Amino acid sequence: MAESTTNRVSKADVNGKTILFTGSTDGVGRWVAERLGAQGARVLVHGRDRTRGEAVVTRIAKAAGAATFLNSPLMKSRFSA
């Protein structure tokens, strides 16, 4: 039987590695970040929303993983025409 992606994000050994995963405060990004943390990676959670980012870090820590939140707010002026 094939291994479920629910348990493993990748066949690569991420244990002990530091991984920066952008957009990891919500949705698929959060799902992947939490799985990487559960596999032993130190996850650098990246996003614009500090509250959601810290929540992801807490969930990873509760699963015995290690994570740090890197806040990256976007400035509207950068995208203005």
The residue assigned the tokens 């509250």 is: 51
Instruction: Judge if pTM exceeds 0.85.
Output: no
Enter the CATH code of domain 18-73: 3.40.50.720
CA–CA gap between residue 42 and residue 23 (Å, rounded): 16
For 16-62, what is each residue's pLDDT tens digit?
A: 999 998 899 999 999 999 999 999 999 999 998 999 999 999 999 99
The domain spans of the chain are: 18-73
